[in-house]
Chains A and B, each alone.
Chain A
Amino acid sequence: MVVAGIDVGSKMAKVVIMDGDRNILSYVMARTGTDHGKTSEEVLNEALEKAGLKREDLEKIVATGFGKISVPFADDEVTQVIAAGKGAYFVRPSARTVIEVGAEESRAISLDENGNVKDFALADKCAAGAGSFVDAMIRYLEVTPEEFGQLALKATRAIPMNAQCVVFAESEVVSLLHSNVPKAEISRAIHDAIADRVIAIARRLDIRDDVLLIGGLANDIGFIESMKRELGKDVYVPEDYPPELVPAIGAALSAVQGVR
Chain B
Amino acid sequence: MGVKVRPFECWDDFKKYRMEYYRNYLEAKENGSIRWAGSAWAFDPVPAGLGEDVYPLTGEPYGATAAFFRDFSMRALETIERKGAARDLCGYMRNYWGSVAMDKYLLADGAEIEPFPKPDFNFTIHICCTHAKWYHYAAELEGGVPTYAVDISVGPGYLLNDKKIEYVVRQLEDAIQWMEKVTGREYDDELLIRAVENEARSMTLWSKICKLNQNTPAPMEEKSMFSFYVMTLLRRSDEKIVKLYEKLYKEVESRVKRGIGALTQEQFRFVTDNPPPWPFLKVYRYLEENYGAVSVGSIYTFGLGAAWLGMDEKGENWIWEPAPTPEEAGYEIHDRRSALWWTAMFNLKYRASWQHEYSHWIRKQETYQMVKDWKADAIIMHLNRGCELWNMSTLEVRDYLVRNGVSVATYEGNMADPREFDEARTFNVIDSFMQSLGIEKLT
Contact = CB atoms under 8 A, between A and B. Distances in A.
A125 B412 contact: yes
Contacts of A195: none
Nearest to B402: A119
B443 interface: no
A4 interface: no
A97 to B, nearest CB: 13
A122 B383 CA distance: 12
B395 A82 contact: no
Contact of A120 (B403, B425, B436): B436
Interface in A36-50: none
B168 to A, nearest CB: 38
Interface in A44-86: 78-82, 85
Interface stretch (B144-152, B159-167, B326-334, B427-435): B427-435
A81 B422 contact: no
Contact of A80 (B422, B428, B433): B428
Interface in B402-419: 402-403, 408, 410, 412
B351 interface: no
A82 B432 contact: yes
A116 B436 contact: yes
B382 to A, nearest CB: 13
Nearest to B434: A79
A81 B402 contact: no
A79 B435 contact: yes
Nearest to A78: B435
Nearest to A105: B425
Contact of A125 (B425, B429, B432): B425
Contacts of A119: 402, 408
A205 B410 CA distance: 12
A63 to B, nearest CB: 13
A125 B433 CA distance: 19
Given A119-B402, A206-B402, A80 B408 contact: no
Nearest to A110: B402
A118 B406 CA distance: 10
Contacts of B429: 122
B398 interface: yes
Contact of B431 (A79, A117, A125, A206): A79
A153 interface: no
Contacts of A205: 402
A110 to B, nearest CB: 9
A208 interface: no
Contacts of B425: 122, 125
Interface in A85-126: 85, 116-122, 124-125
A20 B412 CA distance: 39
A80 B436 contact: no
Nearest to B435: A82
Contacts of A122: 425, 428-429
Nearest to A85: B436
Interface size class of A (residues with CB under 8 A): 10 to 19
Nearest to B395: A204
Interface string A187-217: 0000000000000000011100000000000
Interface residues of B, number: 17
Contacts of A80: 428, 432
A172 B412 CA distance: 28
B394 to A, nearest CB: 10
Nearest to A254: B435
Nearest to B427: A79
Main secondary structure of the interface of B (DSSP, over half): helix
B432 A120 contact: yes
Contact of B432 (A79, A124, A204, A206): A79
A81 B408 contact: no
A79 B427 CA distance: 10
B436 A82 contact: yes
Contacts of B395: 204
Nearest to B424: A66
A141 B398 CA distance: 40
B30 to A, nearest CB: 47
B89 to A, nearest CB: 19
A122 B433 CA distance: 11
Given A79-B428, A80-B428, A204-B395, A124 B412 contact: yes
Nearest to B431: A79
Contacts of B403: 206
B82 to A, nearest CB: 21
Contacts of A120: 432-433, 436
A5 to B, nearest CB: 15
Contact of A81 (B398, B399, B412, B432): B432
B435 A81 contact: yes
Nearest to A107: B432
Contact of A117 (B402, B408, B436): B436
Contact of B422 (A82, A117, A125, A206): A125
Greatest chain B CB density within 10 A among A79, A117, A124, A206 is at A79
A118 B405 CA distance: 10
Contacts of B398: 204
Contacts of A124: 412
Interface string A117-154: 11111101100000000000000000000000000000
A85 B410 CA distance: 18
Interface of B: 395, 398-399, 402-403, 408, 410, 412, 422, 425, 428-429, 431-433, 435-436
5 contacts: A81-B436, A82-B432, A82-B435, A117-B435, A204-B410
8 A-B pairs with the lowest CB-CB distances in the bound complex, closest first:
A81-B432, A117-B436, A79-B432, A82-B435, A79-B431, A124-B412, A79-B435, A119-B402
Given A79-B435, A206-B403, 14 more contacts: A78-B435, A81-B435, A82-B432, A82-B435, A82-B436, A116-B436, A117-B435, A118-B436, A119-B402, A120-B433, A122-B429, A204-B395, A204-B410, A206-B402
